[in-house]
């Protein structure tokens, strides 16, 4: 039995795409206006201020509970990051010395010609 052409899922998908296009077009009209920029930037500043305030409160709570703060964790992560970086450099130096290292393994001939070129 053949499935009829009417596909409710496809129609729904089409409706969603159309709605998305219309809302985005509308937003484009609004956000291109001068009077939109002021409140928008105030919102950005407010969001960042709220985030800063939340971070400060969370840090105070962490200190009170004798837990590491976000700043301390970031410090640890960054120190680990530097160690990882150093290990990678040592590894790269060792690899370059090994006969089966990166440099030895990846040595294709650099003679390829375009397939479109007459032989």
Partner 1 sequence: MSETDGIGDLGAIGERARLEVERAIQRNLKGLDFLTAPKQPVGAMASDQIDRSGTMSLYRYRPVTDEVYRVPLLIVSPPSNKGYIFDLARGQSFIEFMLHRGYDVFLLDWIPPRSDESGLGFEDYVLDFIPSCITQVQTLTGEHQVTLAGYCMGGTLAAMNAALLPEPIANLLFFATPVDFTHMQLFRTWADPKHFDVDRLVASIGNIPPEVMLGAFDLMRPANRAAGMLSLWTNMWNDDFVKSYRMFDRWAAETLPTPGRYFEQFVKQLLWDNALVEGRMQLGGRKIDIGAITAPVLSIVAQHDHVVAREAAAPLVERTGSTDREEIVSKGGHVSLVAGPAALRRLWPSIDSWFEKRSV
Which chain residues interact with partner 1 by CB under 8 A? 1-4, 6-9, 12-13, 16-17, 19-20, 22-24, 27-28, 31-34, 36-38, 40-42, 44-45, 47-48, 52, 74, 78, 81, 85, 88-89, 92, 95, 102-103, 105-106, 108-117
63 or 90, CB closer to partner 1?
90
3 or 64, CB closer to partner 1?
3
The residue assigned the tokens 């960054």 is 78
Q: For 117, which DSSP code?
A: S
Residue 61 tokens read as 């709570």
In whole angstroms, how close is the CB of 12 to partner 1 at the nearest point?
A: 6
55 or 61, CB closer to partner 1?
55
The span from the CA of 119 to the CA of 117, in Å, is 6
64 or 115, CB closer to partner 1?
115
- CB of 54 closer than 8 Å to CB of 63: no
Residue 68 tokens read as 């590491």
Residue length, the chain? 119
């Amino acid at each position: 039995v053949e499935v009829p052409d009417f596909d409710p899922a496809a129609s729904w998908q089409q409706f969603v795409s159309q709605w998305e296009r219309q809302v985005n077009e509308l937003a484009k009209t609004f956000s291109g206006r001068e009077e939109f920029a002021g409140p928008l930037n105030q919102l950005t500043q407010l969001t960042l201020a709220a985030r800063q305030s939340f971070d400060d409160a969370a840090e105070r709570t962490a200190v009170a509970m004798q837990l590491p703060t976000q700043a301390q964790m970031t410090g640890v992560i960054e120190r680990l990051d530097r160690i990882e970086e150093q290990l990678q450099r040592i590894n790269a130096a060792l690899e370059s010395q090994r006969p089966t290292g990166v440099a030895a393994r990846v040595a294709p001939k650099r003679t390829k010609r375009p397939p479109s070129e007459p032989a």
